[in-house]
Structure 1
Amino acid sequence: MKGFFKWQGWVISLLVLVLLAGGCTPPPPDAGSSGKQKLVYASTADVVGLSPIKTNDRASARALDQIYETLFTRDPKTMEIQPLLAESYEQKDPNTLEITLKKGIKFHDGTPFNAEAVKYTFDKFRDPKTAAPRASLLEPIDEVIVKDEFTVVLKTKKPYGPLLAALAHSNASIVSPTADKKGNLMKKPVGTGPFKFKKWVPGDKLILEANEDYREGAPKLKEVEFRVVPEVSTAISLLETGEVDLVDSLQPEHLDRLKNNQKVNVKTNDGTPVTYLGFNMKKGPGKDKTFRQAVAHSINQEEVVDALKGVAHSSKGIIGPKVFGYNKEIEKEGYDYDVKKAQKLLKEAGMDDKTMTITTANTGNYPTLAELVQGQLSKAGLKTKIQTLEFGAYLDRLRKGDFEMVIGGWTNSTGDGSELLYPQLHSDNIGASNGTQTSIPKADELIDQTRTTTDKEKRLKVLHEANQLLVKEAPWVPLHHGVIVIATSKNVQGLEVDPTGEWHLQNVSLK
């Protein structure tokens, strides 16, 4: 027996030495369960699909931004447009943009990225049979021509100023023609980006893995999990316990809790979204400019910003500071908070003893904003009721123009003022995205100029003129401009978020 115990002890000792020598200690929590660099993002919604052509939701876009790439991108700090898959470009004439593509790039399936891939993607995107949700992005393109293997020419129906901004939008990402023809990109995506598709369990998680052949070097993260966590409060708890590494779309009530947590980093960045109080410009009191001016003077924007505790910044412009087309002179021209002037104008409009309804959606900060606005209007003598609707019913009301005043918003995902003013405030889009039913001929004329002028300086000038006119006409009263807020675990390094809320994981690592 003594010999047996000696032999057993010798074996155990040897095993311990082998384990220690091999470094087989448990991996630190930050490195993921497999010991790899794995980041977990808590998404409040599952992806709808994985094709940039056929999706238009935020959850899908977060994943697509890692898998696919666009011809152009925005610098997250300056918001200047830069080539990405493109090498260079030249505006040959007002209707012709020639793009030289980078060479030596391959899709995840090993097929080459070239001009034919660009043509295939854009032609499918624009084909009415595809029914792409964001087809309007490339609607101005009349023809896509392959000049040679690495040169593509875009012919527009007429000069189109925001074309580069449209080409930088994630929905304009280039797909593998071979993969699209063979399979279903909605379920098995194939792009050129730093991460490749690995696995998708609908309603649970999407897993991406590093593209080891990425042209700028393999990402430091080896795996990314998009975990579906429907409740933000649950996602925050998981972040605090170290089970997830990244949470976004945070609300004011979450910030104090997270800022006091030593294990969490909170990043904020003034953003492109704008939130407003809008009027029905087609019927009712909203048609009266005097009434709209009275309401504009009733709104205390600074009080709104303070109430949102770090997720809002102020500007009197409809085009805000982080959107192309902004000019700081607009801050001198908006309506000042002036209760006495508001009271006087309400009397002139015959609205000092009337009651109006504010329609809002039951999402995000909208209900809070409706209550704030209600309180501010009451000080000026305007009584209001709040009508809170489920989001789908709310959108339906906007499309039909079935409201008096409304809390609304626009994310400005292209970062270009034309792509704010045209869909939201041009008469072409009444009954669609122009919820306030705004039809101002001079504004339409200026907005058209911002789209048909390709000269950058001229576009800036005309966008400012349009911003000035719309602020004075007041179909919207800006309540605040958004602040992008995300929270990460302390070990997340190298994450940058641009003012549209877009983020990329190519240069991210876990410490």
Structure 2
Amino acid sequence: MSLTRRTFGAKSGAALAAGFVALASAGIVASFATTATAQESETLVVAVPSDPAGLEPGANKAEPVGSEIILNVFDTLVAWQAPDFSELEGRLAEDWSISEDGQTFTFDLRDGVSFQDGTPFNAEAVKFSLERTKEMNPYVEASLGMIDSIETPSDDEVVIHLSEAYPAFMSILAQPQAAIVSPAAVEKYGDDFANHPVGTGPFSFRAYEPDTRVVLDANPDYYRGAPALKRIIYRIIPEASTRRLELENGGVDIIQQQSQLSAVPSEEMKAFADDPEITIIEKPSQIIRQLEFNNSATGSPVADKKVREAIVHAIDYDGLLAGVFDGTADRVYGPLTSNSWAYDPKVTDMSPKYDPELSRELLAEAGYGPGDLDLTLYSFQGSLWGDVATFVQANLADVGITTEIAQTEFPSYRALHVAGEWDIALDGRQPWYNDPDAHITLGYLSSLKNSAMTFRMPENAELDALILKAQQEPDMEARKALYAEIQVQLVDHVPGAYLFSPKLIVFARSNVDGLVINSAPPLNEYWGVSKN
């Protein structure tokens, strides 16, 4: 409606009034207003900070905007069930079973489902989609790469064989990369399929204007029922201040924070706190930000467990959350967040407490007096990481540890981290599937210490065996018990200082109803959302 007012703004007041009198006498004004209001109530406008990338499953590499669009245009075989996201539910699969050895997954598919181009969904489409993504996307090599073969005994049955047991595979099948594409559309559009994505989801792709917007229209034939919304518009607005102004003025309905990757939304929190037209939605995430020790650095001060213990007791965790984050992050007590299904509550009591005096005693026992220990604290670039690094630096200075902060561009940072050329460094992990494997295996398995940014754990046959057993154990309760044991061993080893988990924060107009935030991955589905 604001566009209508600007269009008429050049007319004189008399002419405008006369025009409305004439329209009103014909009954047109009321009809126009009713239609426009209906259109506004059926269109959801979402503000995002960047142009989407990876708009189709075969090429997606967990880009936030593109990944969310995928989960609204396509369907996966299974998904995590709202609102708790603690159990998997069937989507394109109605039922499934897993073999005793954890290597064979059998899925019974839904009947009568069609792609948005009118072609039928069936077992061959599942086989085509998963094999296509496995072949073209190196990002999924560690997960879909385990697929040994896929059988299609009938149109409504798919059997997937893995090369080894991998219970987290069910979580992998809920990711955007495992969404099912229309084989007919891929054949039609070829390499241009990313600009014409076709799935079975609640919304179909309509248009994309680079650096401007993406438009999705409701799929009236969606098998779960047509969405309440008729259209979703993703508006690309890089400036935070512009996004905030647009939300205040009703130009957008939702602002996403992209998991606080670069800044804390405390300014927006304060601006919207007393605004009855804005709802602030907060949810714990499974993202972990930590101070890592190079646990394989021979000759390093942090090779001494007493030094590691001294550092973790020197950090004021509650002060960090209250000061730097102003309540927009939660405490992390160990290698998993407390909302993970595998979290062991014992870790809460085992985790280090802020105790500067104990820290000084441990340093003395390790042979270090005030000023004897001088370390470089590596960090990502950006104001958020700078604030965290400065806070940690001050805490360590208080117990006699001198640190120099080195904020480093990501390519260089990753290179030195993987090479092991550091003692302490700020790092983090954002899981893209709801399984402890996303944090534990890559972060702590010693054989992977040189493959990515990890804690560089030293070889420990007992711990490594536990990690691999937990990764491959098909029984979920047994897996949970194994991960409980792993957490206890890791906290006892003190591989790092677990600092915080940023909350997932979404700002929405108060008339947006039914929005539920998922924690892993932090992507929104809009099938159940409406505007009143």
TM-score, normalised with respect to structure 1: 0.92
Tell me the distance in 2 between the aligned counterparts of 1:157 and 1:182. Answer: 33
Tell me the distance in 1 between the aligned counterparts of 2:24 and 2:76. Answer: 52
Aligned to 2:12: none
Choose the corresponding residue for 1:299, options 308, 315, 328. Answer: 315
Give the drift of 1:26.
6.9
Say which is worse superposed, 10-19 or 241-250, in terms of deviation.
10-19
Aligned to 2:15: none
Mapping of residues 138-153 of structure 1, within 5 Å: 138-153=144-159
Choose the corresponding residue for 2:53, options 48, 69, 73. Answer: 48
Establish whether residue 510 from structure 1 lines up as the match of residue 531 from structure 2: yes
Provide the alpha-carbon RMSD of the alignment: 2.2
Give the drift of 1:297.
1.3
Cα distance change on mapping 1:12 and 1:181 into 2, 3 Å: closer
Aligned to 2:134: 126
Cα distance change on mapping 1:408 and 1:19 into 2, 3 Å: same
Choose the corresponding residue for 2:303, options 287, 293, 302. Answer: 287
Give the drift of 1:212.
1.4
Tell me the distance in 1 between the aligned counterparts of 2:199 and 2:530. Answer: 22
Aligned to 1:70: 76
Choose the corresponding residue for 1:221, options 217, 226, 229. Answer: 229
Give the drift of 1:278.
0.4
Tell me the distance in 1 between the aligned counterparts of 2:414 and 2:46. Answer: 29
Tell me the distance in 2 between the aligned counterparts of 1:96 and 1:212. Answer: 35
Establish whether residue 82 from structure 1 lines up as the match of residue 89 from structure 2: yes
Tell me the distance in 2 between the aligned counterparts of 1:268 and 1:492. Answer: 15
Identical positions, percent: 26
Tell me the distance in 2 between the aligned counterparts of 1:238 and 1:36. Answer: 17
Give the drift of 1:455.
0.3
Tell me the distance in 2 between the aligned counterparts of 1:382 and 1:351. Answer: 9
Secondary structure of 1:136's counterpart equals coil
**Which residue type is aligned with residue 58 of structure 2?**
I
Mapping of residues 452-463 of structure 1, within 5 Å: 452-463=472-483
Say if 1:453 and 1:459, in contact at 8 Å, map to a contact too: yes
Tell me the distance in 2 between the aligned counterparts of 1:362 and 1:287. Answer: 27
Choose the corresponding residue for 1:340, options 353, 357, 370. Answer: 357
Say if 1:50 and 1:188, in contact at 8 Å, map to a contact too: no
Give the drift of 1:76.
3.0
Cα distance change on mapping 1:227 and 1:135 into 2, 3 Å: farther
Count how many residue pairs are aligned between Structure 1 and Structure 2: 497
Give the drift of 1:41.
1.1
Secondary structure of 1:24's counterpart equals helix
Cα distance change on mapping 1:326 and 1:288 into 2, 3 Å: same
Say if 1:161 and 1:450, in contact at 8 Å, map to a contact too: no
**Which residue type is aligned with residue 214 of structure 2?**
L
**Which residue type is aligned with residue 90 of structure 1?**
S
Say if 1:49 and 1:187, in contact at 8 Å, map to a contact too: no
Q: Deviations over 1:154-189 (max 9, x none)?
A: 112222121211111222111112212222332211
Secondary structure of 1:133's counterpart equals helix
Establish whether residue 497 from structure 1 lines up as the match of residue 517 from structure 2: yes
Aligned to 1:5: none
Aligned to 1:447: 467
Mapping of residues 354-369 of structure 1, within 5 Å: 354-363=373-382, 365-369=384-388
Establish whether residue 482 from structure 1 lines up as the match of residue 502 from structure 2: yes
Say if 2:317 and 2:499, in contact at 8 Å, map to a contact too: yes
Tell me the distance in 2 between the aligned counterparts of 1:298 and 1:421. Answer: 25
Say if 2:60 and 2:137, in contact at 8 Å, map to a contact too: no
Establish whether residue 199 from structure 1 lines up as the match of residue 207 from structure 2: yes
Give the drift of 1:97.
1.4
**Which residue type is aligned with residue 429 of structure 1?**
L
Secondary structure of 1:409's counterpart equals strand
Secondary structure of 1:497's counterpart equals coil
5+ long unaligned stretches in structure 1: 1-9
**Which residue type is aligned with residue 157 of structure 1?**
S
**Which residue type is aligned with residue 356 of structure 1?**
L
Choose the corresponding residue for 2:198, options 173, 190, 207. Answer: 190
Tell me the distance in 1 between the aligned counterparts of 2:315 and 2:305. Answer: 16
Cα distance change on mapping 1:338 and 1:492 into 2, 3 Å: same
Tell me the distance in 2 between the aligned counterparts of 1:104 and 1:204. Answer: 36
Cα distance change on mapping 1:373 and 1:13 into 2, 3 Å: closer
Cα distance change on mapping 1:231 and 1:429 into 2, 3 Å: farther
Aligned to 2:278: 264
Give the drift of 1:503.
1.2
Give the drift of 1:12.
9.0
Aligned to 2:403: 384
Q: Deviations over 1:326-364 (max 9, x none)?
A: 111111222222212211222233444121111111247
Say if 1:121 and 1:175, in contact at 8 Å, map to a contact too: yes
Q: Deviations over 1:271-330 (max 9, x none)?
A: 111111101223232322221111111122222222212221123121111223111111
Say if 1:196 and 1:210, in contact at 8 Å, map to a contact too: yes
Secondary structure of 1:61's counterpart equals helix
Tell me the distance in 1 between the aligned counterparts of 2:251 and 2:225. Answer: 28
Cα distance change on mapping 1:50 and 1:11 into 2, 3 Å: closer
Give the drift of 1:486.
0.6
Secondary structure of 1:496's counterpart equals coil
TM-score, normalised with respect to structure 2: 0.88
Choose the corresponding residue for 1:425, options 418, 437, 444. Answer: 444
Cα distance change on mapping 1:440 and 1:319 into 2, 3 Å: farther
Say if 1:363 and 1:391, in contact at 8 Å, map to a contact too: no
Q: Deviations over 1:382-428 (max 9, x none)?
A: 11111112334333332333332111111222121112111222223
5+ long unaligned stretches in structure 2: 1-17
Say if 2:288 and 2:332, in contact at 8 Å, map to a contact too: no
Cα distance change on mapping 1:321 and 1:35 into 2, 3 Å: closer
Say if 1:495 and 1:508, in contact at 8 Å, map to a contact too: yes
**Which residue type is aligned with residue 318 of structure 1?**
P
Give the drift of 1:365.
2.9
Cα distance change on mapping 1:350 and 1:177 into 2, 3 Å: farther
Q: Deviations over 1:182-215 (max 9, x none)?
A: 2233221111111111111122211111111111
Say if 1:220 and 1:506, in contact at 8 Å, map to a contact too: yes
**Which residue type is aligned with residue 182 of structure 1?**
K
Cα distance change on mapping 1:119 and 1:351 into 2, 3 Å: farther
Cα distance change on mapping 1:438 and 1:11 into 2, 3 Å: closer
Cα distance change on mapping 1:378 and 1:190 into 2, 3 Å: same
Choose the corresponding residue for 2:115, options 91, 107, 120. Answer: 107
